[in-house]
Structure 1
Amino acid sequence: MAKKAEQIAEVKTPKIKKSKTQNIELTAKETVKRVAPVKKTAAKKAPVVKAEKKVIEKKVPVKKMAKKAEKPETVVVDGVKIEAVENTIEVKAEKVKKEAPNAATTVEELFEAGAHFGHVVKKWNPKMKKYLWGEKNGIHIFDLEKTVAGTSEATKVLTDLAAAGKRIVLVGTKRQVKLMVEEEGKRLGIPYINQRWMGGLITNWKQLKQTLDRLNSLKQKREAGQLKKYTKKEQLLFDKEITKLERIVGGIATLKEAPEVVVVFDTHKEKLAVKEASNRGVTVVGLVDSNANPDPVDYLIPMNDDSAKALEIMVRVLGQAIENGMKAKKEEKK
Structure 2
Amino acid sequence: MAVVTMRELLESGVHFGHQTRRWNPKMKRFIFTERNGIYIIDLLQSLSYIDRAYEFVKETVAHGGTVMFVGTKKQAQQAIAEQAARVGMPYVNQRWLGGMLTNFSTVHKRLQRLKELEQIDFEDVAASGLTKKELLVLSREKAKLEKTLGGIRDMQKVPSAVWIVDTKKEHIAVGEARKLNIPVVAILDTNCDPDEVDYKIPGNDDAIRSVTLLTRVIADAVAEGLIARSGAAQAKEGEKPAGEPLPEWERELLERSEEKPAEEQVAAPAESTEATAEQG
Q: Normalization by structure 1: what TM-score?
A: 0.67
List structure 1 segments (4+ residues) > 3 angstroms apart after TM superposition.
none
Counterpart Cα distance in 2 of 1:165 and 1:220 = 30
The 8 Å contact of residues 53 and 199 in structure 2, kept in 1 or not, is answered as yes
CA shift for structure 1 position 240: 0.9
Q: Which amino acid aligns with 1:292?
A: C
Q: Distance in 2 between matches of 1:187 and 1:143?
A: 30
1:120 to 2:19 alignment: yes
Query: Pairwise mapping of residues 206-285 of structure 1 onto structure 2 (< 5 A)?
Result: 206-222=105-121, 228-285=128-185
Q: Give the secondary structure class of the aligned counterpart of 1:286.
A: strand
**Ranges in structure 2 where 5+ consecutive residues have no aligned partner:** 235-280
Cα distance in structure 2, aligned partners of 1:276 and 1:244: 23
What CA distance in whole angstroms lies between the structure 2 residues aligned with 1:115 and 1:173? Answer: 19
* Counterpart residue number, 1:327: 227
Distance 1:312 1:158 in 2: 17
In structure 2, how many angstroms separate the alpha carbons of the residues matched to 1:280 and 1:197? 16
Q: What's the CA shift string for 1:7-57, capped at 9, x where partnerless? A: xxxxxxxxxxxxxxxxxxxxxxxxxxxxxxxxxxxxxxxxxxxxxxxxxxx
Q: Tell me the alpha carbon deviations over residues 88-137 of structure 1, each in whole angstroms, 9 at most, x when there is no partner.
A: xxxxxxxxxxxxxx671111211122111111111110000110112121
- 2:60–2:160: 8 Å Cα contact kept in structure 1? no
1:137 lines up with 2:29 in the alignment: no
Q: In the alignment, which residue of structure 2 is the partner of 1:155?
A: 54
| 2:66 corresponds to | 167
Amino acid at match of 2:233: K
Does the CA-based 8 Å contact 2:120-2:128 persist in structure 1? no
Matched, 1:291 2:177: no
How far did 1:222 drift?
3.8
Distance apart, 1:260 and its partner CA? 2.1
Q: Is the 8 A contact 1:119 1:291 kept in 2?
A: yes
TM-score of the superposed pair, with normalisation by structure 2: 0.79
Counterpart-to-counterpart distance in 1, 2:34 and 2:170 = 26
Structure number with bigger Rg: 1
Alignment of 1:32-181 (within 5 A): 104-181=3-80
- Which blocks of at least 5 consecutive residues in structure 1 are unaligned? 1-101
**Aligned-residue identity in percent:** 39
Whole-angstrom distance in 1 between the partners of 2:33 and 2:102: 39
| Distance apart, 1:221 and its partner CA | 3.8
CA contact (8 A) 1:163 1:328 kept: yes
Q: Does 1:183 align with 2:113?
A: no
Following the alignment from structure 2 to structure 1, what is the Cα–Cα distance between the partners of residues 52 and 195?
17
- Taking CA–CA contacts closer than 8 Å with sequence separation of 6 or more, which of the two structures ends up with the larger relative contact order? 2
The amino acid across from 1:209 in the alignment is: H
SS in 1 for 2:40: strand
User: For 1:194, which of 83, 93, 98 is the aligned residue?
Assistant: 93
Q: Would the aligned equivalents of 1:176 and 1:306 in 2 still touch at CA under 8 Å?
A: yes
Q: Which has the higher strand share?
A: 1
| Contact map agreement 2:92 2:151 (CA 8 A) in 1 | yes
Change (3 A) 1:200 1:290: same
